[in-house]
């Protein structure tokens, strides 16, 4: 068991960060959070400014939990009104994780039209089917399956993982990514708008899924994902959106662009805090 002491001027809440809906393979057990990230099985808990952890080193801990970022500066840049101010006060310390791009992409293809237990079940089933087994001093788990392993399975095998209509999206996208070792560079290097166009070339990735992947997997912090919750929030607080009707592409883009223009380069952080306060 290793320890890391969060500097006094670095705000961080482990529970807010892991329970806000950005990841789905972390669970709290007797005060400890256990989860799969970047091919690791990690165990971590927080006692005030002390972080106890196993399954990774300190450099990874700082990287994954975005502890090298000035959270106060980020939140100050988006704190433009009483609504976001209240959300920041309530969930202060929430940080956007640096997820593995492929793990994040697979997660959010599964996440469309699914609740949290269903998402967890799909990811767990696929990981147990063809992910590497991880053995640690505190337990065992299964890593996310690689694009190569998924692409070698037929669609019927994936369907047995409860993925339903998402099976073809997963199989075809995994196949395309397995052929291109530099796929993530094509998304990471360009600016947000170009990266969004690139990632939406993959089957099963529409606007909302693309924005989630860009925000959580590629650190494009200006991304502003919109779902029915965000639609309601933005309508209630800012008078934009039509939550009484299905979210159309046009309305999605209107809300997304408003969020980006209003909150600025860290609009994604504003979205997470507003979403956490829903």
pLDDT digits (tens, 9 = 90+) for 129-143: 999 999 998 899 999
pLDDT in tens, 66-75: 999 999 999 9
Distance CA 46, CA 13 (A): 8
Compute the average pLDDT of residues 261-268. Answer: 98
pLDDT band at 266 (very low <50, low <70, confident <90, very high): very high
Question: 43 has which bridge partners?
Answer: 34, 54
Q: How many CA atoms lie within 13 A of 32 on its CB side?
A: 15
Supply the pLDDT for residue 152.
86
Compute the average pLDDT of residues 31-59. Answer: 95
pLDDT band at 6 (very low <50, low <70, confident <90, very high): confident
On whether the CB atoms of residues 169 and 203 are closer than 8 A, the answer is yes
Sign for the pseudo-dihedral over CA of 155, 158, 162, 164: negative
Tell me: pLDDT of 160 over 80: yes
Compute the average pLDDT of residues 204-215. Answer: 97
Tell me: pLDDT of 146 over 80: yes
Compute the average pLDDT of residues 149-153. Answer: 88
* Percent of the chain scoring above 90 in pLDDT: 87
Question: In the chain, where are the structural domains located?
Answer: 2-68, 101-217, 228-276
Compute the average pLDDT of residues 270-276. Answer: 96
Compute the average pLDDT of residues 235-260. Answer: 93
Match domain 2-68 to its CATH number in 3.20.20.210, 3.90.550.10, 3.30.310.40, 1.10.150.120: 3.30.310.40
Supply the pLDDT for residue 134.
96
Nearest to 214 by CA among 12, 22, 55: 22
Q: Which helix (H) or strand (E) holds 165?
A: none
Supply the pLDDT for residue 148.
93
Q: Mean pLDDT for the chain?
A: 94
Strand stretches in 77-152, DSSP E: 133-136, 139-142
pLDDT band at 106 (very low <50, low <70, confident <90, very high): very high
Tokens of 100: 């593995």
Identify the architecture of domain 101-217 in CATH.
Orthogonal Bundle (1.10)
């Amino acid at each position: 068991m290793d320890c890391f002491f969060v500097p006094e001027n670095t705000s961080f809440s482990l529970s807010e960060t892991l329970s806000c809906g950005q990841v789905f393979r972390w669970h709290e057990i007797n005060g400890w959070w256990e989860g799969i990230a970047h091919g690791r099985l990690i165990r971590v808990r927080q006692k005030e400014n002390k972080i106890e952890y196993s399954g990774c080193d300190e450099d990874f801990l700082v990287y994954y939990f975005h502890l090298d970022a000035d959270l106060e500066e980020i939140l100050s840049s988006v704190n433009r009104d009483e609504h976001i101010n209240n959300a920041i006060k309530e969930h202060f310390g929430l940080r956007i994780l640096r997820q593995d791009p492929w793990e994040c992409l697979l997660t959010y293809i599964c996440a469309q039209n699914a609740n949290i237990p269903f998402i967890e079940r799909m990811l767990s089933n696929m990981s147990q089917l063809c992910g590497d087994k991880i053995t640690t001093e505190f337990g065992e788990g299964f890593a996310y399956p690689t694009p190569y392993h998924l692409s070698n399975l037929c669609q019927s095998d994936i369907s047995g993982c409860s993925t339903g209509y998402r099976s073809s999206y997963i199989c075809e996208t995994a196949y395309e990514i397995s052929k291109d070792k530099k796929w993530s560079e094509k998304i990471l290097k360009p600016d947000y708008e170009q990266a969004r166009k690139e990632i939406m070339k993959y089957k099963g990735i529409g606007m909302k899924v693309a924005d989630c992947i860009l925000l959580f997997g590629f650190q494009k912090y200006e991304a502003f994902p919109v779902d029915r919750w965000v639609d309601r929030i933005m309508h209630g607080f800012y008078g934009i959106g039509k939550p009484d009707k299905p979210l159309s592409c046009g309305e999605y883009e209107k809300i997304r662009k408003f969020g980006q223009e209003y909150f600025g380069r860290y609009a994604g952080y504003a979205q997470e805090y507003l979403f956490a306060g829903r």
